[in-house]
A and B are shown apart, each in its own frame.
Chain A
Amino acid sequence: MTASLILEQLLNGVQFGVMIFLMAAGLTLVFGVMGLINLAHGSLYMIGAFASAAVAAFTGSFFWGLAASLAAAAAAGVLVEALVMRRLYDRDHLDQVLATFALILIFSEGTRWVFGSFPLYLDIPEVLSGAVPIPGGGQYPVYRLCIIFVGLAVGVLLYWLIHHTRLGIRIRAGENDREMIDALGVNISKLYTAVFAIGAALAGLAGAMVGAIQSVQVGMGEPVLILAFVVIVIGGIGSIRGAFIGSLLVGVTDTMGRFLLPEFFRLFFDPAGATAAGSAIASMAIYLLMAVVLIFRPSGLFGARRVES
């Protein structure tokens, strides 16, 4: 085990983390500001990937595909918010879960109806292919470095948006007391649509970027959705900063767990047993992390300690 391998795995962990962050940021915004559980967030991720693959195939340019993914996911978000979510704000969380679960089924079968059952082709653009040397003699794919960069940029942008713009002030105010800002003359319904669209666009962007190195297929959003929920629970519901730190923690824990745990068990067991035990525990690692965080900070790392009214 060399230093370059460990560095490469750390980069992998960070890259995986910022990827989840793009999903978790939208989810936590919607949940924190609007008090809405949106299980269909994974479907918006899938819509982003499919829109990107279709437009990239049509225009021949990955970057048009990326733009299309933002537009398509945001449009789908606005539509979902206006047609379905708006009726659910005052309802129980269980009703929201049921309705958004139905949306998952509708989006999945709708996508299959339009694009067929076979995975779509989407590849990374020529300019971003290949690998660059990293310190210690290893190599790292350029595209993954780009994902890290985009993720960090989105993080900074969101921070600026929430803390230094009028929209951000309204979002924070809406989070604290939605009736009060409504009474102060802010159009809460437009604000909610905007927040939902931002969340959806981020999910779409994540879908398009990941689609280029993974498989663009129906149902691709649900596994990521579970990770995103783990992240917002760890980070504290409604906190963008929490989602960012939580994503990095989950990304690095998962990657390093998959890499180091089998090695660790090899000190005690024979290779086959160590591989089996190590991979079994590695797949639990992030849930163990979540349990430990919740024991010490029941509302997550950056969760507001809300007074229940």
Chain B
Amino acid sequence: MYGGNVFAAIGVAVLMAGSALADPVKVGMITTLSGGGAGLGIDVRDGFMLALKQSGNTDIEVVIEDDQRKPDTAVQIADKMIQSEKVDVLTGIIWSNLAMAVVPSATAQGKFYLSPNAGPSALAGRGCHPNYFNVAWQNDNLHEAAGAYATDAGYSNSFILAPNYPAGQDALTGYKRFYEGELAGEIYTKLGQTDYAAEIAQIRASDADSVFFFLPGGMGISFLKQYAGSGVDLPLTGPAFSFDQGILQAVGESALGVKNTSQWSKDIDNSVNAAFVSDFEAEYGRLPSLYASQGFDTANLLISAVETADVSDPDAFRAALEAADFDSVRGEFSFASNHHPIQDIYVREVIKEGDVFTNKIVAIGLTDHSDAYVAECSM
């Protein structure tokens, strides 16, 4: 609060001095700050605000609202932000179903949307839009990297499972796109399911040599604990969503050694990332997660655009965003023609550092990877 007041005071002082600065850019952040998925939204927000604070840029004003993970609430907030708050840029949404409810109408009204997390295929392919930029990943990406890793590791009989909803189906499709072996079994579980004894019994009874699972949030915690206690010891792989910094501490020993795929890790070797990790820890007293890194990159992309172009000139501002002229914590970063990232996706292993469970990069899953929908996007 104190820091915020100081910045506000500087901002007022600058305005009162009548300096010839460009108009401030107003950013509306709609994200999940309450309910079961609040950890993700809080990380995105904290990463975003850290980048703004570090830049010292006073031209960017942020309004933050909680969508409670409800699409209708997100739509109401977006309408309010666009119509009465007059924001120029929207960002923050975590979940694909909420993004689908908000993004198409916001971009159609000429607003820019920078996605710090959700990357549904519909917005990457035919539904792409010049004002929509995804700074995180297309939804399939991490699963594709897991499939590529399984192929590289020589797995030839995978058992795969995901919840029965669009992102779950995308996950298994993404895995199969880069996995060349046979499938020992394929299961769709109930969304929100917390007991996996029946599925683990089927894994045990199959002759699989590896298991791929996509079970975000609490579902993943439950699965990992139950899997570790079941006596099945086939190697597990999954996307980073079940292994982020917030979740790992709740899973504990059960996650040790599991391979997971991520576009970010705290040990990516570049100075920007090292500074980000230590600054985030100093500011908030915890290690950053991949969501925090995505919020941080989103803010830095925005800052880079604000510094080179005026948001009242959409074409120039769009070109500035497309250039992606900022130092990403992921190292090399650029946008494909559908405004989704081209980036490396890493394979990480869960390790224990002192008392904290965290991840370490062990391989590169896919290099300079774009997504499967880029050709369908015409803009």
Contact = CB atoms under 8 A, between A and B. Distances in A.
A139 interface: yes
A130 B233 CA distance: 12
Contacts of A1: 205
A259 B35 CA distance: 31
B281 interface: no
B230 A141 contact: yes
A120 B249 CA distance: 7
A223 B247 contact: no
Nearest to B218: A215
A280 B164 contact: yes
B38 A214 contact: no
Given A2-B205, A223-B192, A258-B199, A143 B221 contact: no
Interface string B35-49: 110110010000000
Interface string B176-189: 00000000001111
A125 B172 CA distance: 34
Contacts, number: 129
Given A117-B39, A214-B195, A123 B186 contact: no
A215 B194 CA distance: 8
B201 interface: yes
B241 to A, nearest CB: 13
Interface in A142-169: 143-144
Contacts of B202: 5, 259
Given A8-B201, A220-B218, A123 B34 contact: no
Interface stretch (A33-41, A90-98, A191-199, A270-278): A270-278
A223 B189 CA distance: 15
Contacts of B337: none
Contact of B225 (A109, A214, A255, A280): A214
A259 B200 CA distance: 11
A117 B195 CA distance: 22
B4 interface: no
A139 B226 contact: no
Contacts of A117: 38-39, 42, 246
A272 B195 contact: no
B229 A213 contact: yes
Contacts of A282: 190
B205 to A, nearest CB: 4
Nearest to B253: A123
Given A5-B201, A141-B231, A123 B254 contact: yes
Interface stretch (A9-17, A60-68, A73-81, A236-244): A9-17
B252 interface: yes
B229 A279 contact: no
B187 A255 contact: no
Interface in A118-139: 118-121, 123-124, 129-131, 138-139
B222 interface: yes
A138 B218 CA distance: 28
A23 B166 CA distance: 31
B164 A131 contact: no
Nearest to A282: B190
B198 interface: yes
Contacts of A8: 201, 204
B221 A119 contact: yes
B197 A255 contact: yes
A12 B198 contact: yes
Interface string A104-125: 0000110010000111110110
A232 interface: no
A217 interface: yes
B205 A123 contact: no
Contacts of A129: 229
A216 B39 contact: no
A283 B218 contact: no
Interface string B139-165: 000000000000000000000000010
Interface string B228-240: 0111000000000
Contact of B35 (A15, A212, A218): A218
10 contacts: A5-B205, A108-B35, A112-B34, A121-B252, A141-B231, A214-B218, A215-B217, A215-B218, A275-B186, A279-B187
Interface of B: 34-36, 38-39, 42, 164, 186-190, 192, 194-195, 197-199, 201-202, 204-205, 217-219, 221-222, 225-226, 229-231, 246-247, 249-254
List 9 A-B pairs, minimum CB-CB distance, nearest first.
A215-B221, A215-B218, A131-B231, A119-B250, A12-B197, A117-B38, A214-B222, A279-B188, A118-B246
